[in-house]
Every structure is written in C-alpha cells, then in structure tokens.
C-alpha cells in the first residue's frame, strides 16, 4: 500500500481545486498559470495536511482548502527558488524563469502566494491563517539566510540546520499542525504532529541535498549538481570541510577547483556522504517517534511509511 492510499480521493479533490485556483481573467497570465498547473509535483505537503487530519480525527472540507493553499505557497516558493538558484528544469520541464524570464517568474510566484492568502482569508480558521502567515515569513528567512551564506566556507552545521529548518521543514511542520488543528486535535497532538513534520522536512531536505550531489541522471525532474554549481554548501560538504582540522586549509583551496565528480569521490572517501545519510535517518526516526502520541491507525501507518520512504 502506498502511503497516500487512504487519502487518494481527497488528494484528487486538492488537485482539482488547484486547477481552479491557478487561473486568471487575463488571457496572457492565464496561459502561464495553465502551463504551471499542468506540471504536477508529488503533493507531499497537501498529503501531510490530509494525513494529519486523519491521524488526529477526520478529514473535513476545510482540509481541502488548507491543503490547496499550502501547495500554492510551496509552488510559489519553487518559482522564486528557481530564479535564485538559476535553475532551468523543474518537474521535468523548463522552469518559469527559462520560459518567461526572471521578472515574470517572480511575479507569478507572488501571484500564487497572494491567491493562497485570498483562499485562506475566505473560510480558514483564524489560527490556521496565523500559522500560514508566520510560516511564509519563515520560508523567506530561510531562503534569505541561505543566500547570505552562499559561497561562504565558514558556514557551520548549525547554520545549515537553521537554514533547512526554515526554508523546508517549517512548511512540512505547518502542514501537519494545521491538518491536526482542523481536525480539532488537542494542543499536545498538534505539537506532536508539527514535530513529526519538522523532522520529516529536515530529513527530506538532507536527502534532496544528497541527491543533488549523488545523482547522475535526472530522475528528480531537476538538474543535479545545481547546488555545487552555485556555491551552495550543503551538509556533506560542510562535514568534509570541518571533519579533519589538519586538512581544512587544503580542502578549502581544493573547493574552488573541484568538479562535481571529483567532489563526490572526496566526500565518499571522507565518509561525508555517509554522515549526511545518518543525519537524515536520525530525523526520519525522530519523526516516526512522534507518532506514538497517537493511537494505531491507517494514517499513522502511512506517515510512518512516508518517513521511511523519504530515505530511499
């Protein structure tokens, strides 16, 4: 059974809702939005809203709106991220910045963000709206901090974790929290659901950063090696630089000259890829531990499987 089996119908409803939301009365803008809505992502965050709802009670109509708003915010953040990272492929297709230029891509991201908040302001519970507003701020802080650290070799593991908690894990946590809140869960359960999401998000971003270094083929629908090309130092590289103080200077000198293949073999030899894998495993385990705050259910099982699958 796939982890999304028990929410398949609701996830289809979210998909339908997203198609309705990604349109404009202006034909030119509408044609861009249509092209964007034609490329489906994995719908991981909407699935978290729905599964957390199931975990804490039951899925209600408001969960569909919340899940749709979260996916709009996520898609907006990808449009902005691809401009920042100068990425040219997303979800297996040319990015918005390649198709229409950086300015249009940023404005399309702003449009989707605004649409998410319009949707939320209509009938979402006030507490969920507050969570989403705060999380949108946190996402920007994370991306901003990452960009301020770009090409800085003094970045520490703590800096790295602080960045990924903000830019990625915060939206995972928010998805789980508002899913549980909309199912009328008590505060300790909302907190446990949020912690599940936070740990899952950290593991997810570490694995994404590893796959940017390790993958040779374009199985992710993105271009591998992008982080390295744009001097984004991720956990394996940070570990490699700091793991042996006697080598730090020479590794720093090497850093600017290595290509991705040579970097990969250095990281492998120093055990830095392994180190990052272990960190992701640890957060996946911590995510699963949070599920003990809930009774056994199909949703708990699905969330547990999801946390395991993320390590693949």
Stretch that binds ligand IPE, among 79-87, 99-107, 121-129, 260-268 (CB under 6 A): 79-87
- Can you tell me whether residue 258 is helix, strand or coil? coil
Nearer to Mg ion, 61 or 221 (CB): 221
The option from Mg ion, ligand IPE, none interacting with 168 (CB < 5 to 8 A, set by class) reads ligand IPE
Overall residue count recorded for the chain in this entry: 312
Task: Please report, as residue ranges, which positions from 177 to 206 form the binding site for ligand IPE (by CB under 6 A).
Answer: 205
The option from ligand IPE, Mg ion, none interacting with 88 (CB < 5 to 8 A, set by class) reads none
138 binds ligand IPE (CB under 6 A): no
Cβ neighbours, 10 Å, residue 252: 12
The option from ligand IPE, Mg ion, none interacting with 159 (CB < 5 to 8 A, set by class) reads none
Tell me the closest approach of the beta carbon of residue 292 to ligand IPE, in angstroms.
Answer: 26
Distance CA 7, CA 89 (A): 29
Give the pair of three-digit tokens for residue 269. Answer: 């030899």
* Residues linked to residue 90 through DSSP beta bridges, in sequence order: 93
Tell me the closest approach of the beta carbon of residue 251 to Mg ion, in angstroms.
Answer: 23
Tell me the closest approach of the beta carbon of residue 90 to ligand IPE, in angstroms.
Answer: 7
222 binds ligand IPE (CB under 6 A): yes
167 binds ligand IPE (CB under 6 A): yes
Contact 143, 114 (CB under 8 A): no
Distance CA 289, CA 65 (A): 29
Choose, by CB under 6 A, the member of 3, 49, 66, 85 that binds ligand IPE: 85
From the list 286, 297, 254, 289, the residue with the least C-alpha distance to 58 is 297
The option from ligand IPE, Mg ion, none interacting with 78 (CB < 5 to 8 A, set by class) reads ligand IPE
**Which H or E element spans position 94?**
strand 93-94
Distance CA 125, CA 180 (A): 12
Contacts of 103 (CB under 8 A, 6+ apart): none
159 binds ligand IPE (CB under 6 A): no
Residues near ligand IPE (CB under 6 A): 41-42, 44, 77-78, 81, 85, 87, 91, 167-168, 205, 208, 222
């Amino acid at each position: 059974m796939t982890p999304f089996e028990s929410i398949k119908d609701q996830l289809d409803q979210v998909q339908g809702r997203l198609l309705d939301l990604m349109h404009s009365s202006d034909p030119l803008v509408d044609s861009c939005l249509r092209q964007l809505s034609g490329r489906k992502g994995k719908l991981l965050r909407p699935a978290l809203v729905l599964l957390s709802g199931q975990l804490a009670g039951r899925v209600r109509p408001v969960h569909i709106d919340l899940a749709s708003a979260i996916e709009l915010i996520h898609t907006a953040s990808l449009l902005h991220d691809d401009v920042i990272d100068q990425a040219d492929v997303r979800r297996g297709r040319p990015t918005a910045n390649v198709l229409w230029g950086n300015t249009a891509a940023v404005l399309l991201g702003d449009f989707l963000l605004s649409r998410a908040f319009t949707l939320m302001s209509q009938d979402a519970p006030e507490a969920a709206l507050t969570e989403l507003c705060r999380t949108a701020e946190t996402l920007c802080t994370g991306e901003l901090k990452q960009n301020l650290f770009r090409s800085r070799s003094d970045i520490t593991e703590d800096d790295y974790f602080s960045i990924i908690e903000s830019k990625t894990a915060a939206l995972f946590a928010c998805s789980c929290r508002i899913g549980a809140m909309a199912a009328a869960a008590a505060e300790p359960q909302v907190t446990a659901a949020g912690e599940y999401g936070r740990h899952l998000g950290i593991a997810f971003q570490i694995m994404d950063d590893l796959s940017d270094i390790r993958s040779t083929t374009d199985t992710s629908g993105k271009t591998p090696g992008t982080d390295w090309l744009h001097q984004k130092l991720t956990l394996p590289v940070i570990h490699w630089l700091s793991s042996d103080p006697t080598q730090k200077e020479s590794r720093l000198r090497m850093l600017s000259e290595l290509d991705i293949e040579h970097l990969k073999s250095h990281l492998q030899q120093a055990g830095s890829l392994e180190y990052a894998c272990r960190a992701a495993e640890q957060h996946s385990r911590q995510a699963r531990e949070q599920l003990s705050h809930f009774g056994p259910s199909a949703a708990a099982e699905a969330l547990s499987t999801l946390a395991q699958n993320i390590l693949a």
